[in-house]
A and B are shown apart, each in its own frame.
Chain A
């Protein structure tokens, strides 16, 4: 297990470093002088020179990268040009919206998709099967942001039960904040549930067709035991992958949902940063997302080793 752990840790570190190179390198590709791009053609030479210094453009690129990476490792993502505040602080302020939104949506998707996926795999060949398969395919085709608009139309505009957007803040009112997140979580979670149902069903069907399940049945074990003890336990490895993918999809999907519901999350922060050419802020946000995705994949791999001894000792 230790060797497996060290190997995965090393590849994760390499991926994180490469991701940081991509994020840093992207700004090097800005056509022309980034300071002039940000401040415009008519900017004063002093302002341009000050911004070049703030962006570290007076230092050679490889050295600048090392300085930037050193800062990142200390939790310093630089200073936002637009807000004149540390990027890490700006991101931290918005985690209170994006993290609960992501986790609640992933939880909702899992609670809906896993039982439905397993059930449809077990009911394969019945009259319900094609209907549920088609429904999950249809659900996966619905963009979460459009579902969000439809939910606003019904529950906010039509029925007036829930707010159509905005976020009061946890310190202002927990109840109102929860109500503000209800529709975004539904939009993000239900859309993902459809995708997850398909993947869960496929994972379960794959396990159910394996020889050991046939053997368990041939031995005369009860259906409940075959499914619970043999099939489900073996499907867990794939289900963990599905869960990892769901978390990534929901995490990234939240960027769009925050825009639909005017939630002050990290995704919206990045969108305003793009409009203002706030490179340090864009770099900080993109690096955070990319690192979180790499780490999620690492955790999924670790759980493989924990769940399946064949992987651990391979």
Chain B
């Protein structure tokens, strides 16, 4: 039998995400310059041998800041999607398993979150708890909960009537065991695919929130707040706006290609 090649988008997406993860990891052990060191002699300079991506208006090295920025992006994205995945999967599983009016009531409550996309949720939470990294994570996470809840509910509803689940029940397994052992493993692959696609959206949302001043605080380098700072100096030097923007595009593209690739790999009928 011929071995199937992995889909191209899976390889490309995996490569891009791998690059960003590597950048974040490398930043812990090696940086070309201190990302916070001010150097007024080298303000707003273009790419050079000393500063590969140039410098910002404080003369700080943009390459070092982009590397460190990868940490914030990955951390906020991963925690936000982690919140959405755990909360959404739990709520969706309970709703789908319970059925009837409980299902209807739970899903109606979850659907209300659709009315609060990440930026809107962040506006509300930032007004209440002050803007910051945690606010951004929670806002993006809560806004993404309904997607996972719907997905999980659909899987549970379709799986709960299967013969092997019925057999488990006949053997005396309780609800919790049936869900954990027989239903959840079957529902895992769509959740994994969605997690990757949601990470792409979370990276965009985190960058937008930091750009607005509602995400990562200004003293921590993040791609969104680097763009916010660069905006005021674009007439003098466009470099500061290019590097973080390209980093965001590469990361979002990576997660989104990886999600598509995983879907293609796990469900060949969607390949197109």
Interface, chain A (partner B; CB < 8 A): 11, 14-15, 18-19, 22-23, 26-27, 29-31, 124, 137-138, 140-143, 145-146, 149-150, 152-153, 157, 205, 248-249, 252-253, 255-256, 259-260, 270-271, 273-274, 277, 279, 282, 285-286, 289-291, 293-294, 297
Do A19 and B272 touch across chains, with their CB atoms under 8 A apart? no
Q: Which residues of B contact A289 (CB under 8 A)?
A: 120
Query: By CB atoms of chain A within 10 A, which of B111, B114, B124, B214 has the most?
Result: B124
Query: In the complex, which residues of chain B have a beta carbon less than 8 angstroms from the beta carbon of A274?
Result: 123, 126-127, 131, 214
Q: Complex Cα distance A11/B128, Å?
A: 28
Alpha-carbon distance A253/B109, docked complex (angstroms): 25
Q: Is the pair B127, A141 in contact by a Cβ cutoff of 8 Å?
A: no
A282 to chain B: closest CB distance in Å?
4
CB <8 Å contact, A271 and B124:
no
Instruction: Give the residue of B119, B124, B235, B253 whose beta carbon is less than 8 angstroms from that of A137.
Output: B253
Asked if A286 meets B119 with Cβ closer than 8 Å, knowing A137-B253, A205-B272, the reply is no
Other than the known A15-B111, A143-B245, A291-B115, what 18 A-B pairs have Cβ atoms closer than 8 Å? A15-B112, A23-B124, A26-B125, A29-B128, A30-B128, A140-B256, A142-B245, A143-B207, A143-B208, A143-B249, A145-B207, A149-B245, A157-B235, A157-B238, A255-B120, A277-B127, A286-B124, A294-B115
Please report the number of residue pairs spanning A and B whose Cβ atoms sit closer than 8 angstroms.
128
Residues of B within 8 A of A285 (CB): 123
**Docked complex: B220-272 residues within 8 A CB-CB of A:** 227, 230-231, 234-235, 238, 241, 245, 248-250, 252-253, 256-257, 260, 272
Check A137/B257 contact, CB under 8 A, given A124-B272, A149-B245, A286-B123. Answer: yes
- CB pair B245–A146 under 8 Å, yes or no, is yes
Which residues of chain B have C-beta atoms less than 8 A from A293's C-beta? 114-115, 117
> What range describes how many residues of B lie at the interface?
35 or more
A-B contact pairs, 13 of them (CB 8 A): A14-B108, A15-B112, A22-B112, A27-B128, A138-B253, A141-B204, A143-B252, A150-B245, A157-B234, A157-B238, A205-B272, A289-B120, A291-B115
Question: Contact string, B139-155, partner A, CB cutoff 8 A, digits 1/0?
Answer: 00000000000000000
B256: chain A residues at CB < 8 Å are 137, 140-141
List which B120-137 residues lie within 8 A (CB) of chain A: 120, 123-129, 131
Q: How far is the CB of B26 from chain A (nearest CB, A)?
A: 23
Chain A residues with CB below 8 A from B124, complex form: 22-23, 26, 282, 286
Bound CA span A285–B126, Å: 14
Does A141 contact B115, Cβ atoms closer than 8 Å? Answer: no
Question: Is B112 a contact of A18 with CB atoms below 8 Å?
Answer: yes
B190: Cβ under 8 A from any A Cβ: no
B200: chain A residues within 8 A (beta carbon): 141
Closest-by-CB residue of B relative to A270 is: B123
Please judge, given known A-B contacts A124-B272, A157-B235, A274-B214, whether A19 and B112 are in contact too, CB under 8 Å.
yes
Residues of A within 8 A of B253 (CB): 137-138, 141
B258 to chain A, nearest CB (A): 12
Per a CB cutoff under 8 Å, which of A15, A31, A255 touches B119? A255
Give bound CA distance, A255 to B230, whole Å.
Answer: 19
Known interface pairs A27-B128, A145-B227, A285-B123. Does A19 touch B211 (Cβ–Cβ under 8 Å)?
no
Contact B119 A256 (CB under 8 A): yes
- Residues from chain A with a CB closer than 8 A to the CB of B109 are 18
Q: Which residue from B211, B234, B249 sits with its C-beta under 8 Å from A256?
A: B211
What residues of B have a CB within 8 angstroms of the CB of A143 in the complex? 204, 207-208, 211, 245, 248-249, 252
Asked if residues A153 and B272 are in contact (CB atoms below 8 Å), the reply is no
Which residues of A have CB within 8 Å of B218? none
Report Cα–Cα, A272/B238, bound state, in Å.
27
Which residues of A have CB within 8 Å of B123? 255, 270-271, 274, 282, 285-286
* Contact, CB under 8 Å: B125 / A138: no
Whether B120 and A290, one on each chain, are in contact in the complex, defined by CB atoms closer than 8 angstroms, is yes
Q: How far is the CB of B42 from chain A (nearest CB, A)?
A: 22
Chain A hits for B120, CB < 8 A: 252, 255, 286, 289-290
Chain B, Cβ-Cβ closest to A249: B117
Q: Which residues of B contact A255 (CB under 8 A)?
A: 119-120, 123, 212
- Rounded to whole angstroms, the CA-CA distance of A294 and B19 in the bound complex is 39
- Does B213 lie at the interface of the complex (its beta carbon under 8 Å from any beta carbon of A)? yes
Query: Is the pair B234, A149 in contact by a Cβ cutoff of 8 Å?
Result: yes
> Which B-chain residue is minimally distant from A285 (CB atoms)?
B123
Bound CA span A270–B120, Å: 10
Q: A138-B253, A146-B245, A282-B124 are in contact. Are A256 and B115 (CB under 8 A)?
A: no
Residues of B within 8 Å of A271, CB to CB, are 123, 212-214
Residues of A within 8 A of B272 (CB): 124, 205
Contact (A19, B234) CB under 8 Å given A137-B253, A143-B245: no
Q: Is the CB of A149 within 8 A of B227?
A: yes
CB contacts (< 8 Å) of A286 on chain B: these are 116, 120, 123-124
For the complex, give the distance between the alpha carbons of A140 and B203 in Å. Answer: 12
Residue of chain A at shortest CB distance from B200: A141
Q: Please give the distance in Å from A270's CB to the nearest CB on chain B.
A: 5
Shortest beta-carbon distance, B203 to chain A, in Å?
9
Closest to B246 in A: A146
Distance to closest chain B CB from A122 (angstroms): 13
